[in-house]
Amino acid sequence: MSGVGKGVATASIGKILQAKGFRITAVKIDPYVNVDAGTMNPTEHGEVFVLDDGWECDQDLGNYERFLDKNFTQANCLTTGRVYLSVINKERALSYGGKCVEVVPHIPLQIIEDIDAAAKKDKAEIVLVEIGGTVGEYQNILFLEAIRFLKLKHPKDVVTILVSYLPLRNNDNELKTKPTQYAVRTLNSTGIQPDMVLARASVPLDQKRKQKIALNCNLEVEDWSALVGRIKRLKKTVRIGIVGKYFGTGSFILSDSYLSVIESIKHAAYEAGYKPQIDWVDAGNQGSLSKYHGVVVPGGFGGRDIEGKIKAIRYAREKKIPFLGLCYGMQLATVEFARNVAGLRGANSTEIDKKTKYPVIDVMPEQLEKLQGAKYGGTMRLGAYPALLKEGAIARKAYGTKKISERHRHRYEVNPEYIERLEEKGLVFSGKSPDGVLMEIAELPKSKHPFFLGTQFHPELKSRPLSPHPLFREFIKAALAKKGR
């Protein structure tokens, strides 16, 4: 079923295999017709995760990267739309030699070809393939058919695992297995017999049996087990507020829209010996921010609740609350500084106000032509780009190196026309593209603020449980200092 934890299960299995010394890779299959996840609303599908090569994909790729400490590319992402597009392009190029191209077998064969390509690219010994959705849905039938083909051709080299949920009946606290039985039977009807069933339930196995399994399987999981044990023992907390707009969907509040941000905060807090208490702060309804030890304004698009975010940024700046702005958050921090410190009243981003008198944030010139065609899926600066850090800056100290590489997903940049004015008033652009044209990091010096920093890129996409991102590490360190004040 959807949301049962297939992504985390896939990443966990990968971690075990990795600990045994295997070279692995992973492929996430999403049954939607979109070619990628870039144009989908985060409340519909969760966070859009950006890879090094600029590909926009499902948030499960973030789980893969965090668990496996490995960077993936578009070769590791498949959708129904992308597979069909490949087959159609081949047909147009006469790659099928004039044959009648049919849904079966050509679509499943293309899926197998793409999985094989991912394996070869990463020189993998084992490929983990996660099929999204629920067994029995018509959307993923062709992907299941591809797995059946693979199993038929390589019976000893293909293992199928069903991830299922065991509900707990309230009246007698009995775990019910009927849904899992039915799921296995449904999977059987597609020609697939699962080799393993991974059952999720609210009643956990005890630690003794977990340790026994790990011992008998000869798993080297000391670091990971130590992290889990450390997390369980944590009692002290640090309170972080995330100010965003992608929380509400109907009557529910979802955290998936900012999953990587949340995980990155956890990584850094756990390392510091604290359990993060993360609150969702609606940009349109902030309440008091004074109770937080740190404030994060994450990425986003559009003009909704922008003034609320800018007010939150101003409050954090003036009240010396540690602040971390990510992508759009960095742009809005620049707007706030321009308005309230640099004296550019009415300053704005042209994404919000195309007629603003002071366009301190503007679209990159090379993107104008694409934007005019409104082809939003391919108009952004996507993927990993290098940046050079300023000596003595907070960012340079955090990274411990001059040159970095981080992942981007944006169309707008700090307008070069206003950089000198902003710097004169105290804003430090501590990270720039190698040619010095694009501003990658903006910060205030320690003499002005304990931690006020924004990034044009998305550092949350490269944080790992055993290796927190340097900027999140510094942010949490500042938050703990405030907590102690």
Q: Give the residue numbers annotated as catalytic, written as ranges.
A: 327, 458, 460
- Quick check: 293 and 238 in contact, CB under 8 A? yes
Nearest to 428 by CA among 299, 302, 330, 326: 330
Task: Report the run of H or E that residue 150 belongs to, with start and end.
Answer: helix 141-153
Nearest to 6 by CA among 122, 124, 143: 143
Give the three-class secondary structure for 298: coil
Q: For 436, which DSSP code?
A: S
Q: How far, rounded to the nearest angstrom, does the alpha carbon of residue 409 sit from its chain's CA centroid? A: 11
What sections of 341-459 are H helices per DSSP? Answer: 368-372, 394-399, 419-424
- What is the Cβ-side half-sphere exposure of residue 6, based on CA atoms within 13 angstroms? 23
Concatenating the DSSP letter of every residue in 222-283 gives HHHHHHHHHHHH---EEEEEEEES--EETTEE-SGGGHHHHHHHHHHHHHHT-EEEEEEEET
Tokens of 101: 């191209």
Concatenating the DSSP letter of every residue in 5-64 gives SHHHHHHHHHHHHHHTT--EEEEEEE-SSSSSSTTS-HHHH-PPEE-TT--EE-THHHHH
Give the three-class secondary structure for 330: helix
Q: For 374, which DSSP code?
A: T
Length of the chain: 485
Ordered strands of the 359-363 beta sheet = 348-349, 359-363, 412-414
Angle formed by the axes of helices 259-272 and 470-484, nearest 10°: 60
